[in-house]
């Protein structure tokens, strides 16, 4: 009887990794707050066009420099355009910058990291040297150089941000593959005739997903902030595109006359970058394998 009770207690006490991660996630305030802000950003990106009361590029000269009021909640800019509508439309561009650049870096880093770590030898040496040279360039200078060569546009900024982050992903994947390829389950897969491609994608890759998720959440916020910064200095989205950094750039000339033009997009950038970074830090605490010991 006592043995059965003890057995039931052990079964109830045992938790799957998914249950442990979910329990930690719910108890981590940074994860909760970060998730709320990220969901809010995604909501704005998806439904912003339907929620915006005005066309973001509609010029209304008589209403220029109107302070926040019941008609224009965030006021208007130098052309009478509604700031609230422009920020809602800009949320979609912010998600586009962060998401596409992270996907480019994620896929490129996985391919290079898997090849380098799995095959090793000469291939690993060559790819490692290329990645080291790549990483030697400061992030912002690399992006500015690419934009200067290809011309200022939002698409160029997104691609430059994605390519700039590839080495960071590749190094994480390479390190994980170097340790995983010596595991017994990999050797067992080889012994039954499983090909290299299948071993890499089905047996090794799932073991490197957790650190890549953490890095992606942090890189998303970094890309959002860098993209806004490049638009601010004229290398990203060009007027009249309602991108948050571009709105800040045009509003800085009217800081004393109409400070709301810069205050509201600045707050949007700060809040959502903070939310993404909080989520990334929280996920690192939740998924860090050292915490499972």
Indicate whether 24 belongs to any domain: no
Q: What is the CATH number of the domain that holds 85?
A: 1.10.3720.10
Rounded distance, CA 236 to CA 156, Å? 8
Is 17 inside any structural domain? no
The reported pLDDT for the residue numbered 292 is: 45
pLDDT at 10: 44
Q: What is the sign, positive or negative, of the torsion defined by CA atoms of 13, 213, 99, 252?
A: positive
Residue 174 lies in a domain: yes
Q: Is the pLDDT of residue 12 over 60?
A: no
pLDDT at 157 over 70: yes
Q: Say if residue 191's pLDDT is above 80.
A: no
pLDDT of residue 286: 78
Examine residue 111 and state whether it is found in any structural domain, yes or no.
yes
Q: Which residues span the domain enclosing 274?
A: 79-292
- Asked whether residue 207 carries a pLDDT value surpassing 90, the answer given is no
pLDDT at 202: 74
pLDDT higher than 70, residue 51:
yes
**Which H/E stretch holds residue 42?**
helix 29-51
- On whether residue 51 sits in a domain, the answer given is no
Residue 262 domain-assigned (yes or no): yes
**Region 114-129: what's the mean pLDDT?**
87
Distance between CA 202 and CA 208 in Å, rounded?
Answer: 11
71 domain-assigned: no
Are 49 and 88 spatial neighbours (Cβ–Cβ below 8 Å)? yes
**How far is residue 188's CA from residue 113's CA, in Å, rounded to a whole number?**
22
Query: Can you name the residues that pair with 82 across neighbouring β-strands?
Result: 76
User: Are 154 and 243 spatial neighbours (Cβ–Cβ below 8 Å)?
Assistant: yes
Average pLDDT, the chain: 84
Q: Number of folded domains in the chain? A: 1
3-state secondary structure labels for all residues of 186-235: HHHHHHCCCCHHHHHHHHHHHHHHHHHHHHHHHHHHHHHHHHHHHHHCCC
pTM of this structure:
0.83
For the stretch 217-266, pLDDT in tens is 889 988 988 889 888 888 888 888 899 999 998 888 998 999 999 999 99
Give long-range contacts, CB 8 A cutoff, 24+ apart: 205-208: 205/110, 205/114, 207/176, 207/180, 208/113, 208/172, 208/173, 208/176, 208/177, 208/180
If one compares 273 and 9, the residue with the highest pLDDT of the two is 273
SS3 70: coil
Sign for the CA dihedral angle at 227, 233, 237, 240 comes to positive
The per-residue pLDDT for range 89-114, each reduced to its tens digit, is 999 999 999 999 999 999 999 999 98
Q: Is the dihedral of CA 219, 221, 226, 227 positive or negative?
A: positive
Of 96-110, 132-146, 179-193, 274-288, the one with minimum mean pLDDT is: 179-193
């Amino acid at each position: 009887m006592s043995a059965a009770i003890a057995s039931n207690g052990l079964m109830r006490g045992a938790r799957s990794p998914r249950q442990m991660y979910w329990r930690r996630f719910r108890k981590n305030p940074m994860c909760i707050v970060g998730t709320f802000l990220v969901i809010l950003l995604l909501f704005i990106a998806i439904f912003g066009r339907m929620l915006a009361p005005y066309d973001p590029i509609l010029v209304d000269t008589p209403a220029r420099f109107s302070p926040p009021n019941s008609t224009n909640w965030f006021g208007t800019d130098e052309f009478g355009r509604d700031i609230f509508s422009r920020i809602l439309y800009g949320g979609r561009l912010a998600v586009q910058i962060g998401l596409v650049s992270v996907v480019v870096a994620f896929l490129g880093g996985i391919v290079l990291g898997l090849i380098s770590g799995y095959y090793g030898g000469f291939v690993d040496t060559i790819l490692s040297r290329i990645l080291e040279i790549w990483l030697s360039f400061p992030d912002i200078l690399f992006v500015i150089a690419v934009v200067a060569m290809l011309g200022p546009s939002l698409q160029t900024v997104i691609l430059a941000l994605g390519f700039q982050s590839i080495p960071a992903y590749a190094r994480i994947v390479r390190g994980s593959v170097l340790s995983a390829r010596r595991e017994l389950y990999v050797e067992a897969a080889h012994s039954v005739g499983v090909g290299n491609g299948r071993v890499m994608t089905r047996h090794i890759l799932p073991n490197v997903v957790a650190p890549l998720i953490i890095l992606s959440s942090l890189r998303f916020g970094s890309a959002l902030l860098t993209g806004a910064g490049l638009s601010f200095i004229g290398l990203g989205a060009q007027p009249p595109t309602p991108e948050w950094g571009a709105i800040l750039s045009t509003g800085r000339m009217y800081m004393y006359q109409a400070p709301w033009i810069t205050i509201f997009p600045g707050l949007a950038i700060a809040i959502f970058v903070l939310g993404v970074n909080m989520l990334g830090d929280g996920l690192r605490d939740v998924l860090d394998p050292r915490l499972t010991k």
